[in-house]
Structure 1
Amino acid sequence: MRQSPAIRLLTSTAIVLMLGLTSTTATRAAEPAQTETVGLEEFDLAQIETFAGAFLAARTADTDRDYENAVRFYRKALDFSPNELAIQERLMIALFMNGDFNEGAALAEELKSNRAVERVTSIARGFKAIRDGQYDEALTILKYQGPNDLDRLMNELLIAWTRAGKGEGKEALASIQELDGPSWYKIFTNYNAGVMAAMIGDVDTARKRLTDTVTDRPGGATAPDTFARAVIALATLEASVGNKQKALDAISAGDELISNYAPFKALRDRIEAGEKPEPVVATAAQGAAGVLFSIGGALNREGAEDTVMLYLQLAHALDPQSADTLVLLGGIAESTERLEKAIEFYSMVPVDSPMRRISELQLGLTLAETGKVEEAREHLQGLIAADPNDIRSYLAYGSVLSSAEDYRAMAENYDRAIEIIGPNPNRSHWSVFFQRGIAYERLKEWEKAEPNFHKALELNPDQPQVLNYLGYSWVDMNRNLQEGLEMIKKAVELRPDDGYIVDSLGWAYYRLGRFDDAVRELERAIELRAGDPTINDHLGDAYWRVGRKLEAVYQWKRALASEPEEAEVPKIQNKINNGLPPIEADAANATTKPVEEPVEDADRKS
């Protein structure tokens, strides 16, 4: 199956520029009947007359990550049963997740003896004490005697920053350097020691520790957000003491692990212009917030969104101007389908931040996801006009045009992008040529599309989406059949668990008349993407050709129930009613049935 990609630019602030955001929706808890017809945000609290009703409404909102309404309904539940400990716990978490730090911290104080939420209450109370300059109190609160290595690292680093805030910078720095633990501690201890040393004026120690962080490539792969901060901190340090070339060298070292990262480019431009950027960490509060940001960023993966969101919201409370925290919060809000909240986070990124451009691009994409397509187009066109040399802007705008099926404008957009790139594109530009190829293919201008796919493969020879798209197109047009089949096979080898690419292989076998092979691959594709209408349709066709006609009709009915594209509905219904025509007629009338799916950058971190 060919995929027309909708490009996402990031999930984390420090991986790569084009990342696919995987949306995950939690299983909903049992819901009160009234939520079927009345939105929770519109529900009148006065209508809730029982504890059970309030609790069920709160749990529904909580499960849906609608924290604003979760707070409302948990409070209503406490009106009926003020001493219900479990509700108090959930209310506290919902307050933090909704960004209501002061109220959450007040409740954490009340729950401080509750061992079930001790980790959350201690960090929240410690953060409040640090923010308020009550460092002795924070030191008492943050003591940790448990066995968990991650919790021990977190608390020891927070204690060190508390001591630094108290004026004991040298002692705090020594405690970090002496902190012993698993090998994965190193990137976190080196980074925190480096920025703390820079804050207290120990340039030699800062340089050494930050250099150790930047050269720790395994650690950087594990914690890319911390790595990126270390690169920026080292470059900023060198620039501040007049070592312009060393500052630029630090950024180049960062480019080797995280290519085309916009904040690196922005920092390079400022340093080349002779500016001396502000340090990454200037206060103990910023340092403490950075601990939770770093650990949250390292934990950021599918299934851990709630934990990461909690850490980042606490970090945001202590350092509200941190741009990378806001961008990462926005990305998590997107991945959990809270699009309006994502827009809010992106809009909060400071205007003078090197990450502002990233947040603006992501904001444009998110606007389109919410259905505000024209607003998204205007927003992204404005970004292109403001900086015509930023290729990411064309990728973002092209994604919106692709989703709107405005392929002529999409092709023209990538034509302009390739003019900007010039005669010497590099590997990172493969996606621009790939997208232009898709635009022209959709316009049925294959003579313009095909050279772009070849160029994308020349720049990135083993890119599975390109191999799949070109190979599938050839097979579908009855051209270069064996070469197209080999391309798709290679794509499957590279992405064996990608149901769409496996479907391409099955459909290629079908088009070649190898129906038994087609059934085998399409059954595997269905296992990977059970609800996809096109794959179900393809499997139905293959079943029919091998004589499994009852199963074929069942698959076509599944395809119809899975909401296929409108143009496919009468075709599928006709097959349900009449079956397939003879093979000769089928081959003459076959058409490609592409599906809109997000593409991943070949270099993205899974």
Structure 2
Amino acid sequence: MSRRFYRFSLCTIATFALAASVYGQSTKPENRDTATAATPAAKTAGAETAADTRSSGYYHYMLAHEYEEMATTYGRPEYANRAIEEYKLALDADPSSKYLNSHLAELYFRTGRIKDAILAAQDQIKKDPSDLDAHKLLANIYLRSLGDGQQEPSAQMLQLAIGEYLKITQLEPNNAEDRLLLGRLYAAAHDSAKAEEQFQAARKIDPDSEETVLTIAQLSLDQGDTKHAISVLNSLPDDDQTSRTEFLLGQSYDQEKDTKNAITAYRKALGLEPDNLDVERKLADALLSDNQYDQALAAYKDIAEGDPGDARALLHLSDIYRHQGKFEQALGAIRKAKTIAPDSLEIDYDEGLLKDAVGDFDGAAQDLEKLAESSDHPSGQYSSSEKNNRYLFLDRLANVYREQGKTDLAVATYQKMTALGDDYAERAWQSEVDALRDAHEYDKAADVARTAAEKLPKDSSIQLMLAMQLADTDHADEGLALAKAQLKNTSDNRDVDLALAQMYTRLRRWKDGEESLDAAEKLSTKQDDKLTVYFLRGALLERQKRYDEAEVQFRKVLAIDPGNTMTLNYLGYMLADHGTRLNEALGMIQKAVQLDPLNYAYLDSLGWAYYKMGQYTQAENNLRRASERDSMDPTVHDHLGEVYEKTGRLKLAAAQWELSLNEYAHTVSADMDPGDVGRVQKKLDSARVRLAKEAGSTTVATRPN
């Protein structure tokens, strides 16, 4: 006997033992009382025939199993074919064997002979229509044929699977798992009503089943009914909830934009499964979304430690450090992320933002120019994600150009954005107008607004942009008429009323502004819609110097949206400017800067708050940063002049006040308050007198006797 045959024999002995355990019993009981009806010779012959048949079945099953194992081990299809042939021979010897028939059907399926697999299972069902195992086998074949869920399943195969599971639920009506599977199949077939019916049946069978609750909740989420999903998930007893339940609950709250409850759910999920980084990632994202930077930072650090290859965690770490002003740590994190994902556009983009944050405008521009160039398609055809990326790259690049005072380059960049069409074009036109306004090129801004209005005559937002530009440049009646022409008998009037309110405020027509805001508020059905109304009403009251009433409106905004940066800055600056509750004012502005660290107006407010508190070093640092980001704002120069004057640098102060007056000379009246120019002029005149006196004193002191 050869060694190869010897090894084969050892294996077949084990297989033979298994086969014997399966087939060792006859399918019918032996009736010993009637055995005597046959002659001894006949009994012996019959016994030998049954034994031979059984032995043949064992033998062929044994070989079939061995070939099947070899096919799996060596991946050779000829072994699978031999196994199939042996199963057939085994079935010839024992045609009633469910075990052999199911194994043959399974092997057919695994070797890609789907039609043969289905026929084999169907053949068994023909023999016994109530054979539950055969129905499950056929259903399983249909299920596997549906694929991995990455693409739309075959409608025919889906209906066949549904048909089998309908029979299965009839044969065992109290099996919750069968009901869940049938419900999922209905959901895949987009029959949500029948899916829900099966899920509810499963829940009646097992009310506390987490799997059932998760399935019902997921169906609700897929249908966009997040409230029902949350209700179902919360109905599960606390003792039956696992990390999976809390995780899906967190995702449901996320979809509802209920970040606080999402955080609570993710925390519970992580507590139940502390090593699950997927849960911690969702928790970290929610914390970041809620502006809980310190806790988000700790979570992302833990993720980066648990998965050193997670570039996304490092990217978020860099982003948080940048917001906190910890630029060295931000740079370290971004460099690590680049080693992991050197081709990531998101990392390159964030690196550009980081350079912008530290004042490296040239470096930021170079990085963003490369990204903008790489995102350009000569064909002009973009997918939705490509459009969004290109918009982000161009928009940030234009902002950097504006910070450098390169208005022409910024305008040219915005013009490239208009080619993206749709909402991107609208935003590009608006940004181009804003860039020209910031540069005090109001006539050019008006020309751009007119061009946009001509190209998009049906776009109400563009028409309102032109209307506001006209009102700001001595064409108030024309601008107001154009804005009012956009009024329709629809809920869209809200946007028009808001625009009119801003125009009236800038024209100092307070009563008209109040009436427009009242009209807009009536059309603001959602809480979020009221934010803009409250903010604009606060600005209207502040411009009238009704500060206490303005504060009430700003507080309404923050009660709904505590992270509203515009309101935090406006209210914080208003309080600081009047020396009121300076610590609270400083905290508000610091939060606004943390959320939007590149906003020069927020940096100016922060510097001014420090000035009012007598912290002149911090005041100067922030005001200088604000001036670097926008050198054309007269208020920033005025504030910086105050700091220089207070710290004994009168020449520098006078230089800043001169710059302030120069910018005021090119600013429209709507962008400044009456008396601003006079106040700055008075400070400059006083400084010049003092400087002259100091110069005279120095001349007298140094004149020789």
Superposition TM-score, scaled by structure 2 size: 0.37
What TM-score does the superposition give when structure 1 sets the normalisation length?
Answer: 0.42
Q: Which has the larger radius of gyration?
A: 2
Instruction: Specify which structure has the higher proportion of helix.
Output: 2
